[in-house]
Structure formats: structure tokens, C-alpha cells
Amino acid sequence: MYEKKIISGISCIGSGIGQSVINSIKLSKLPIKTIGLGSNPFAFGAFDCDQYVITCSIYEKDYIDNIINICQKQNIQLIIPGLDDEIILLSKNLEKFQDAGIKVICSGYELCSLCYDKEKMYNELNKVAAIFAKTYNKTNLEKEILSGNLSFPIFAKPRHGAASKEIRIINSIEDLNRISDNYIFQELVFPAINDPNYSYFRNQVENNKIQQIAEISIQLVLGKEGNLLGRMQSYNRLKNGVPIEIIPFKDESINNIIDILLPELIRLGLKGPLNIQGRLTENGLKIFEMNPRFTGISGMRALMGFNEVEACIKEWMDIDKGKNHIYLNHNRFGTRQISDKSIPIERSTGIISQFKHILSKEISRKTLLITGAGGYIGRNLIKMLAEDCSFNVWAYDIDKKRIEEIFKGKVQKVFDYNDLINGRMNLGYADILVHLGFARPYCTYLMIADSLKFTFDLFSLASMNQIPAILNFSSKSVYGMDNSLPWKESTPVVPQTVYAQAKYATELYLDTLKRRNNVLHFSSLRLSSISGGADGLTEVDALSKISRNAFKAEPIRIIGGSQLLEYLDIRDAVDAVIKMLKTDSEKWKPVYNIGANNKYKLTDIVEKSVNIAQKYNGGRKSEIIFENKDIDYKIDMDSSLFYNDFNWFPKYRIDDTIESLMVYFQKRERKV
């Protein structure tokens, strides 16, 4: 496996080609960091990249220097261009990029400029293979018509156009006179009579309409040495120059014709992708367009096994060089439609700066959706958030009525499962999902399985509704007890219980969702044992049990005693979570350990509990009963990554936690 990080810049990321490139990369398992480059802060594909950097316009004179400077600052090794106009610029300046140590997936300037000028392309390449649609400039066209060698209708398109913009049908000299000299003219290429779209195409032409149907797309992919990596053919229907229906096929006669042309294309500097467009006519293949680049359906082709972007990245980065052959799955067809993306405004400084006069009064506090709101952490987290007033809080729990009573006036909305399944909970309004709603380790296997199913369903809905961030509460138990200490986030997990396996599954599922939806930020918190006297405490952990017995002056039995334990105070746990929620989710790591940074022997914990308890129980003292046994049990979790990333450190020592437990037990006893 190739392990070194590949930092790839995708320029003109807002284009359909840029989007298609990023979609292809997302299907790859290569360790690629994607940096979107473009001048538009609204660029759709930018938010599918790992990072987005604003550039100047490709039409500014300093564009090349601007791109090179950005590449050097961001350590970009490889550029993948996304627009025809830019490809000309890059191909003309390949030496500059090479001198700067930057690779560009791009053909040479001679080929790029030839494809860019459709009249020149016809004049030069039709000599090699007479398969190109006849192409004229305005002067030559008038001569051909007046001499009777050519008749209307004629196809007109901009000499340097792209995406089939401003194409039209010319039916008369009057129509021709209204066309500027910047246009070139091609014979109308009709599909063969046996084509299912022949009659419709002819009818539309007679009504002066252009329909982009029955088009043939041929994609050639070559390595940087001019070696053929793969080729494919598809029958397409387009809308506004973009294929929306794609049927792959294989016709050896087309391959044979292209093979005649290929040596000349390689001589002209063909490297990387080349898209050829035409139609199969009564007289065979007729080509009317060639573009030396990836296309808007490169991502679709990748879904059919033909990942040309990945193959080129590997070739240019010398990974399995010369062996990156790609093939198409002919058992598939493709269909495309518009997709939508909802982005947090805070993630685009460009939009904030351009539209601050509109946004200044509209940006409100973020809304947190907190599941498991009635649990130990949930209750105390919401209590602190209500005092903090930095967020709107939506509380979710299985017992809605109980939660409404607990949090009256502290949360904006309360939901339960019926609200979720009956569409009364608008997930698209939430900014951060804080997921605490999961069965505890002591619960039945059925309860844990139900929790896992609920979590997967909830995370799927959150992703589909494009909730920008998910904070998932995992557990230290994923490390198991066989790992070397201390446990770091990079320590291989060894989940040894059903609960631990379920918790690890939630982490893995979030990682999968992130690959599908790059707008999603997430983190899974692997918490140490949490304790402390606070609402919602369930006395199942060793510290609370020991402290309760000490408060009641009941005997405390210790088996072993050398066990090394770690407890995070509930107040610290809540404070750490709030600190994280107030930090830009873009800075979150996928996993964090959160522990107390102090470990204590079981015997020390018992002695502290007994001594502190005497201040709260009238001086009564528990008897400590020791049972000698060699038990190798140690908890040692390294939380330095969280401490450093969030400039946070626990405030409470275990003595403070025990004190809080005693106060809690004392208050409870007085109520009784």
C-alpha cells in the first residue's frame, strides 16, 4: 500500500469537471489530501475537498504565478485542471510548474491549442483520419455555399467554446450574417437512420432546435510517457453540454479508427485524458469535438470501474507506473441529476466578507441536538449550556414528558422517537448533533443492539440532512485490556465486549459517512470512567459504589488493591465537551481520548473515600476488608491530544470528585 500523503490541487473546483474529479478521488483508497482551488467562494466542489484556497481568476495575468505560489505554500505536489481555458494556460507554462517541482496532469501545448481551435483541429487531423465533421470559418463557409458545394442547415459554435454554450443552427445567409466572426461552422452530423433517436433529432433540426442526443463519447487515458492506460465508449444524451444519460458500449471499428489517429495525437503531446465527441452516422464515426481533459462524467465512469483520475494520479506520482490499466464494467449504465449541498456560513470567509451587509443580523446561535438528554452526561451538559447561553438546545430522549419537566425553561425544544419518525423533528435546522443516547455497558445485548441500530439510523439521517457536525460519545473500552499502555488515539483497538464492539462500530460508521459527505465534520470521544455527585448519577461505577458505602459507613471489600484506575469528574467532562462545541468543528480530530490525567490505586481510592466520608456522615468509618489476589488491571489513557488541541486541562482531582459524591449522598439522605 502507498502510504505517503499525496497533496493534490484541483483547480477551477467550481466547475463540473472539478466536481467530477473530486468525486473520482473520493472513490480511491490512495492517501490523497485534496485542496480545491478557485476564485468563487460558492464553488460547489470546494466543500468536498479537504481544504479550499481562493485564487485569482484564470483570466488575470498573474494567474500562473498565483497558482504556483499557492502550491508551494500548501505543499501541493500535483495539479489537476478543471476548465478548457485554464488547460491552455497550464500547458503553455508546464516548464514553470516543473521548475517549481509541481506536476500537472495535462497534455502538451501543441495538442491543447489544436483542440482549442476547432477549425485548425479539422484541418490538421482530418488529413490523418478523415473522420472529422467538416469545419469552416465564416469566409470559407460563404464561398462553399455560394458555389453550391454546401447547403443549409449548418451548425455554428464559438471557435473557443466549451460545454456547448451558444451553439445554434444556421438556416440562411441572413442567419449567417448575424453571426460574429468568432464562430466556426460545422456540417450537421446526423445519427445513423437505425439510431433510436434519429427521427426525433431530424424533427428538432427542422424546427431549428438543437438536441444533444445520440452523441458518442470516447475517453482515452494515457500515462505521462504516452502509454495507453485505457479507453471507453459511451452513448450519451446531454443537457446544456453535460451528459445526463450514459450507456457504455464497445465497438471495435471505433477503436480501429482511433488507433489510426492515436500516434499523431501522441506526437502532438497527448498525456493524461482526452475526450472525443461525435456521432455514429450512416458513414461511420464523425468527430466534432476533442478536449484534452477529464470531463463532467469522469466521476460516473469511475463508478463503472473506469477511474481515470486515480490512474493518472498514480502515473504522475510514479505509483505502479505503466501498470495502471483501467477497464469499464459494461454491465452498468449511468444517469445524472442535480444534487444539493448545505454549507455552514462560517466555513466560507469569502461569503462572509462579500455578504456581511446581509448576514450580520441573520447569523444566530448554533442549535445543538442532544440525544440521551436525560442521562448522566446529558443532564449535566444541558444544565451548563443553559447557564452559558451560547447555544440553542434541542433535547432528545425516550421519555419526553420526564425531560420536559427536568429541562423546563432550559431548552428550546424536546423530542422523542415518535417525533423523529413522524417528521416533527427538523434535522436540517440542527448545527451540531451531540450523540449521547446509547445503552450502557451493563445493559442487555438486545438493548445494545437496539442502540446501535438507532445510532446508524440517526447518523444516516443527520448526514442526509447535512447536519454540519456530529459529536459522538464512544468509550475507552474500545482499546480492550490487552493493549500496551498508555492508550493513545493511534493505539490499535481491541474491543473485547459487545458494548465495546458496538461503540467502535459507531466510530467506523461516522468515518464512512465522512467519505460520502465531506461537509460533515465529526469526532468520537473515548471517555474514561466518569463519576461525581450530580443529577442523573447511576451508581454502577466502582468509585460511586465505594463512596456510597463509605458515606453509609458500611464495610468495603477490596479484592486485590493494586488495580490502577482513572476517573474523570463529571464537571470536567461537561466542561471539556462545551470547550469542544465552541471550537470550529473543522479543527476536530476524528478521535479524542478524554481522561483525568491521574491514575490511582484501588486501595488509595478506598482510603480517600473513607477519610472524606467522615466529614459528611458524623465521623463514622467504614471497615476495609482486604482479600489478597494478584489482579493485573490498569487504566492509562493518554489525553494529551485533546489537552493540546483545545488548550484544556481537568480542574478536579479525585478528592474533589469524592467530595462531590458525599455532598450528593448527603442531600439525597436529607430528602428521604
Spell out the domain ranges in the chain.
6-106, 111-133+189-335, 365-497, 528-672
* Among 327, 294, 296, CA closest to 106: 294
| Architecture of the 111-133+189-335 domain | 2-Layer Sandwich (3.30)
| 365-497 placed in CATH 3.40.50.720 | yes
DSSP-assigned letters across all residues of 160-212: T--TTTT-EEE-SHHHHHTS-TTEEEEE--PPPTTSTTHHHHHHHHHTT----
Integer CA distances (angstroms), 129 to 190, 258, 270, 293, in order: 19, 8, 17, 21
Integer CA distances (angstroms), 483 to 441, 543, 591, 617, in order: 20, 24, 17, 41
Model pLDDT for residues 598-610, shown as the tens digit of each residue: 899 999 999 999 9
Amino acid in the structure at residue 552: K
Q: What was the pLDDT predicted at 164?
A: 53
Which residue in this structure is represented by grid cell 500523503?
5
Q: What was the pLDDT predicted at 672?
A: 61
Amino acid in the structure at residue 381: L
CA-CA distance, 550 to 515, in Å (whole number)? 50
Q: What was the pLDDT predicted at 61?
A: 92
Does this chain's domain 6-106 share its CATH topology with 111-133+189-335? Answer: no
Integer CA distances (angstroms), 101 to 82, 91, 94, 97, 200, in order: 20, 15, 11, 6, 52
Cα-Cα-Cα-Cα torsion 267, 268, 272, 277, nearest 10 degrees, comes to -110
pTM over 0.85: no
Q: 284-291 and 334-335 as β-strands: parallel, antiparallel, unpaired?
A: unpaired
State the Rg of the chain over Cα. Answer: 33
How many Cβ atoms sit within 10 Å of the Cβ of residue 512?
11
CA-CA distance, 650 to 566, in Å (whole number)? 12
Query: If you average pLDDT over every residue of the chain, what do you get?
Result: 91
* Among 20, 110, 111, 37, CA closest to 78: 37
Q: What was the pLDDT predicted at 361?
A: 53
| Displacement of CA 511 from its chain's centroid (Å) | 10
Low-confidence ranges of the chain (pLDDT < 50): 1-2, 163, 362
Burial of 55 (0-12, 13-18, 19+ CB in 10 A): buried
| Architecture of the 6-106 domain | 3-Layer(aba) Sandwich (3.40)
Pick the CATH number of 528-672 from 1.10.357.10, 3.40.50.280, 3.40.30.10, 3.40.50.720: 3.40.50.720
* Among 194, 231, 235, 201, CA closest to 216: 235
Count Cα atoms within 13 angstroms, Cβ side, for 112. 23
Q: What was the pLDDT predicted at 228?
A: 97
